[in-house]
């Protein structure tokens, strides 16, 4: 059974049980002739068509599932100084939201965000995914520094547990490792400085 709903702008909305919405409005001179709204990473949610006689037809092909987790994608929003594009987008989004946002507040908010993001994604496009940064890999010198630090840590524990006659050689070994570590750290610091100067 069809339930008509009227709006202040002289248009009206028909809702039928097959989740099909038909909006009759005065002609929209700036609207595109046809476009579809897609939820990101989701099958077609709404299809909006502006007929030649000025009627906007919105078909809801599938109700949004609130439990569905969608992949977050970035929309290529236009620059803030492009007022015409923003006004056009605002008008189109308003006309669609007026016709479709019905029901409880939570559902309306979800529908609103879905429609706005889908419309923006189709109109302005999506930003390409950034390539993931490669994990940091230590160079030879950095791995030697790491290894020396581990050895010094284990030496400290051995020194605490050692008897009096074993502590002398452990102290000498520790001083040798500390000198080697200091030399390697200094060389690594100079390498980083050279790299910074080259990039400037």
Domain ranges for the chain: 3-124, 140-199
Q: Are 155 and 170 in contact (CB under 8 A)?
A: yes
Residue-wise pLDDT for 76-124, tens only, equals 888 989 999 999 888 888 888 877 767 777 777 777 888 888 888 888 8
At which residue do the structure tokens 């908010």 appear? 109
Q: For 35-87, how does the pLDDT look when each residue is reduced to its tens digit (9 = 90+)?
A: 333 333 334 455 656 666 766 565 555 555 555 545 567 888 889 899 999 99
**DSSP letters spanning 135-177:** PP---HHHHHHHHHHHHHHHHHHHHHHS-HHHHHHHHHHHHHH
pTM: 0.36
């Amino acid at each position: 059974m069809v339930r008509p709903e009227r709006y202040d702008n002289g248009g009206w909305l028909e809702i039928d049980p097959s989740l099909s919405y038909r909006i009759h409005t005065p002609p929209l001179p700036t609207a595109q002739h046809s476009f579809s709204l897609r939820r990101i990473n989701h099958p077609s949610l709404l299809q909006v068509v502006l007929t030649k006689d000025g009627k906007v037809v919105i078909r809801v092909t599938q109700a949004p599932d609130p439990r569905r987790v969608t992949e977050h994608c970035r929309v290529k929003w236009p620059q803030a100084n492009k007022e015409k594009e923003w006004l056009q987008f605002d008008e189109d989004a308003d006309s669609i939201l007026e016709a479709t946002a019905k029901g409880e507040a939570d559902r309306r908010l979800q529908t609103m965000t879905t429609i706005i993001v889908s419309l923006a994604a189709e109109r302005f496009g999506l930003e390409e995914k950034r390539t993931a940064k490669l994990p940091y890999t230590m160079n030879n010198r950095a791995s030697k520094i790491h290894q020396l630090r581990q050895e010094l840590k284990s030496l400290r524990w051995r020194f605490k547990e050692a008897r009096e006659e074993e502590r002398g050689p452990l102290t000498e070994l520790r001083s040798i490792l500390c000198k080697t570590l200091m030399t390697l750290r200094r060389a690594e610091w100079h390498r980083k400085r050279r790299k910074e100067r080259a990039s400037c």
